[in-house]
Amino acid sequence: SKEPIRVLVTGAAGQIGYALVPMIARGVMLGADQPVILHMLDIPPAAEALNGVKMELVDAAFPLLKGVVATTDVVEGCTGVNVAVMVGGFPRKEGMERKDVMSKNVSIYKAQASALEKHAAANCKVLVVANPANTNALILKEFAPSIPEKNISCLTRLDHNRALGQISERLNVQVSDVKNVIIWGNHSSTQYPDVNHATVKTPAGEKPVRELVADDAWLNGEFISTVQQRGAAIIKARKLSSALSAASSACDHIRDWVLGTPEGTFVSMGVYSDGSYNVPAGLIYSFPVTCKNGEWTIVQGLAIDEYSRKKLDLTADELSEEKALAYSCLS
């Protein structure tokens, strides 16, 4: 039988953590035959709640779960982990300046980067979920120089899945028959959900989403804004932010990264830009990627029309600004 994989979840006592850890323990993230050891990290005010989550994990008697480390010690949390899902962070509270929130997260991600660099397993894969996700991932990358940049990513798969969901609802088709939407850029309202390369499986073969929807006004308008604003719509309805969908998408992100994407399918991941599609190098930017043998590759050669070009640049500009703000918090 397989050796257990150690998976760290930071912010594990929070909402997303509560939805995510049972999915990991059930094999949703790494496979139904892959044993796991969960490392759950949170901060001291959440220690008691974290211990409650640990008790529930024991009570659920998950066959794949070979151990649980629940801790408020960053070093203990990071030691030996093969996968790190960074959900913990400092949320923006009403009346707070953007710079103050950024500054809190910069210090958290700087410290956790060092701990991962020193104590995680070699070749540990890192997924940052906590907002500002792209910039937190960039800070983590900068302060963990010995972790290959290929191993650091942020979550835009939730946005990607939201886009698949909207197309599926609109066309009344199975969501599993829709593929190759793209989320470009920042996990924020400037993200660009792009359907220009998306297709739907039909009895007559794969058809472009644009052809089937046949309503460019909707695709260029309401569709985009619905995906961009979906997080806010969930908060309005639930009085809490997305949790089960965020947790499920985090599992999709890691599963596809580790086990590979199906032939002919691409997914969206926030990764370190190499300048592809004229996106400035050195930003963590969401691109269409395929994964094989545990590595992602940016899909090359997709046609970008003028309308899309503007949207790719707009969200890149926002990320450059966030990067500058994050750096200003370091000095």
160 vs 311, beta carbon nearer ligand NAX: 160
The residues near 71 (Cβ < 8 Å, ≥ 6 apart) are: 39, 40, 41, 77
The neighbouring-strand residues paired with 259 are none
Tokens 């540990």, residue located: 124
- Catalytic entry in 39, 119, 160, 187: 187
One-letter identity of residue 198: A
Minimal distance in Å, beta carbon 294 to ligand NAX? Answer: 22
Task: Flag whether 270 is marked binding.
Answer: no
User: String of b and e for 320-331 (b: at least 16 CB within 10 Å)?
Assistant: eebbebbeebee
17 labelled ligand-binding: yes
Binding site for ligand NAX (CB under 6 A): 10-11, 13-17, 41-43, 46, 87-91, 108, 129-131, 133, 155, 158, 187, 231, 241-243, 246
Which lies closer to ligand NAX via its Cβ, residue 70 or residue 108?
A: 108
192 three-state secondary structure = strand
Taking the complex as a whole, the smallest distance from the CB of residue 49 to ligand NAX amounts, in Å, to 7
> Under a CB-based contact definition with an 8 Å cutoff, are residues 64 and 28 in contact?
no
Distances (CA, A) of 271 to 53, 133, 308, 309: 31, 11, 19, 19
| Cβ nearer to ligand NAX, comparing 151 with 188 | 188
Amino acid at 16: I
Residue 129 known to bind ligand = yes
- Nearest Cα to 196, choosing from 172, 177, 213? 213
Count CA within 13 A, CB hemisphere, residue 262: 6
- Which residue in the shown chain puts its C-beta closest to ligand NAX? 14
The reply to whether 157 sits in an annotated binding site is no
Provide the minimum distance between the beta carbon of 93 and ligand NAX in the complex, in angstroms, as a whole number. 11
- Residue 187 annotated among the catalytic residues of the structure: yes
Is 191 annotated as contributing to ligand binding? no
Nearest in space to 136 (alpha carbons), one of 121, 126, 124, 148 = 126
Which of 74/167 has CB closer to ligand NAX? 74
**Backbone CA torsion sign across 218, 221, 226, 228:** positive
Backbone angles phi, psi at 306, to 5 degrees: -65, -40
305 Cβ partners below 8 Å, 6+ apart? 196
What is the nearest approach in angstroms of ligand NAX to the Cβ of residue 87? 5
Find out whether 162 is annotated in a ligand binding site. Answer: yes
Nearer to ligand NAX, 13 or 83 (CB): 13
- Give the H/E segment covering residue 220: helix 216-220
**Least gap, CB of 12 to ligand NAX (angstroms):** 7
Q: Is 16 annotated as a binding residue?
A: yes
Quick one: 36 or 106, whose CB is closer to ligand NAX? 106
> Alpha-carbon distance 118 to 101, whole Å?
26
Active site (catalytic) residues: 187
Binding positions are: 11-17, 42, 92, 98, 105, 129-131, 162
Residues annotated within the binding site for NAD(+) are 11-17, 42, 105, 129-131
